[in-house]
């Protein structure tokens, strides 16, 4: 994510992790420990997904309700995790609140996948030192929930995905300006506003939605993020 090519490397790694995570069941509390292993499942009525490549000192903890905490250090490696819903929808109004304190390259975003066709998507609310819109083709802009967002698109060729190695599109809305990181953060994302805007510029999501979470991602950085989703 430091450059166009490293952005691809980071997201490819994330996609591969999400393709085949370990599963858990309701009632299993994923607790923080050094090198919290990649996992996904349900917790307190919410779907969660957590992945790390193991290069960073990274811990993930599920809290009550829609809360999670991620702490990472070491300024290396790639990690992403969060809570939300499975399946996603085209009409959900997602609220989030908490603290987001990245040092370096990181995103806080609504994140998900669709099938038929296979699409990976981000609605980026805040980020650290790297603006993801610098490595994608701008397709337009949209005003949602009181803020402007740049609409962007990229293509991933023969890369890992939730369905194995595939060629697929990435759709992006990146808040401009971003919400300021480094402390308290909150907001609302009406996904229909973004999805409709994407469709208006020819970016059509798939008919089958997989998960839809509010994710914290870190790449070659450090930080902490405690977010509650509702």
| Active-site residue list | 120, 217
**Cα(158)–Cα(9) distance, integer angstroms:** 12
C-alpha distance from residue 100 to each of 14, 126, 206 (Å):
20, 9, 30
What are the b/e assignments for 190-207, b being 16+ CB within 10 Å?
ebebbbebbeeeebebbe
C-alpha distance from residue 174 to each of 5, 83, 127, 178, 214 (Å):
19, 20, 9, 8, 14
DSSP per-residue codes, 30-51 = ----TTPPPEEEEETTEEEEEE
Q: Which of 49, 17, 11 has the alpha carbon at shortest distance from 229?
A: 49
User: Hunting for tokens 């809360």 — which residue is that?
Assistant: 67
Check: CB of residue 121 under 8 Å from CB of residue 170: yes
Check: CB of residue 42 under 8 Å from CB of residue 26: yes
* Cβ neighbour number for residue 186 with a 10 Å cutoff: 14
**Residues β-bridged to residue 58:** 72
């Amino acid at each position: 994510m430091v450059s166009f090519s490293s952005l691809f490397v980071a997201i490819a790694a994330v996609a591969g992790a999400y393709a085949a995570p370990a599963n858990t069941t309701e009632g299993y509390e994923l607790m923080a420990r050094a090198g919290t292993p990649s996992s996904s499942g349900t917790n307190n009525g919410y779907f969660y997904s957590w992945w790390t490549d193991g290069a960073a000192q990274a811990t993930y903890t599920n809290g009550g309700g829609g809360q999670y905490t991620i702490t990472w250090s070491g300024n290396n490696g790639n990690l992403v995790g969060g809570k939300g819903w499975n399946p996603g929808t085209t009409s959900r109004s997602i609220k989030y609140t908490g603290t987001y304190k990245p040092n370096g390259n990181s995103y806080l975003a609504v994140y998900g996948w669709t099938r038929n066709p296979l699409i990976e998507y981000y609605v980026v609310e805040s980020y650290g030192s790297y603006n993801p819109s610098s490595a994608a083709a701008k397709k337009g802009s949209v005003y949602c929930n009181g803020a402007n967002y740049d609409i962007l698109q990229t293509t991933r060729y023969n890369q890992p995905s939730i369905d194995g190695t595939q060629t697929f599109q990435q759709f992006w809305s990146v808040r401009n300006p971003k919400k300021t990181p480094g402390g308290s953060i909150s907001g609302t994302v009406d996904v229909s506003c973004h999805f409709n805007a994407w469709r208006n510029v020819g970016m059509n999501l798939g008919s089958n939605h997989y998960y839809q979470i509010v994710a914290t991602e870190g790449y070659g950085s450090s930080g902490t993020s405690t977010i509650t989703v509702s």
